[in-house]
Amino acid sequence: MATTEEERNIETIMRWSQYYNTKDLVRFVYECYTRDAAVYAMGAAALLTSEAFLQCEQAIVAAAPNRYLRLDHLRIDGNNVTIENTLLDLDQADFALPWAGVFTMRDGKIAVDRTYADWARWPGVLELSKDLPVWDVHTPHCEVCREERPAPSI
């Protein structure tokens, strides 16, 4: 039986997948992730600010506006969540990219996101990584609300 903490974390992951699929990127980033979240597209990008993460997701949606995920499996143990998904794209009928996410949750939000996929199978995504020096910068405050925040704890 899931604990109250695990139930809260499952609810976050369900909202996370809903916001991802409806392309509600502001809610996806700011409601599902902690302000100091560290997001790693393993082998492709390290996004260490909410602003960088939002910018990256906006670029992905611009490149693949009909992308969506199918949540295939979810495993939870306290604040550790592992998900297996399939990325699909309505514009590419034969496209299916399996990927896994390993999340560390804090206070009901994702604090560390390590996503594993064969990024080379998703045309256009690797090209986004040429801007990594900008994305890999941690600012001492949130660019949206301007509040101070601590450095990411990993």
Q: What is the CATH number of domain 4-135?
A: 3.10.450.50
User: What span, in angstroms and rounded, lies between the C-alpha atoms of 11 and 8?
Assistant: 5
The whole-number pLDDT of residue 148 equals 57
The whole-number pLDDT of residue 115 equals 94
- Residue 45 has, within 13 A of its CA and on its CB side, a CA count of 29
Would the CA dihedral through 138, 139, 145, 150 be positive or negative?
A: positive
The whole-number pLDDT of residue 34 equals 96
User: What span, in angstroms and rounded, lies between the C-alpha atoms of 4 and 48?
Assistant: 29
Taking the model in full, what pTM does it have? Answer: 0.82
Domain residue ranges in the chain: 4-135
The whole-number pLDDT of residue 146 equals 45
The whole-number pLDDT of residue 4 equals 95
The tokens of 92 are what?
């590419």
The tokens of 13 are what?
């992951």
Contact (Cβ atoms closer than 8 angstroms) between residue 120 and residue 30: no
Block means of pLDDT (10 residues each) for the chain, 154 residues, are 94 98 96 94 84 88 91 96 95 91 97 91 63 45 48 51
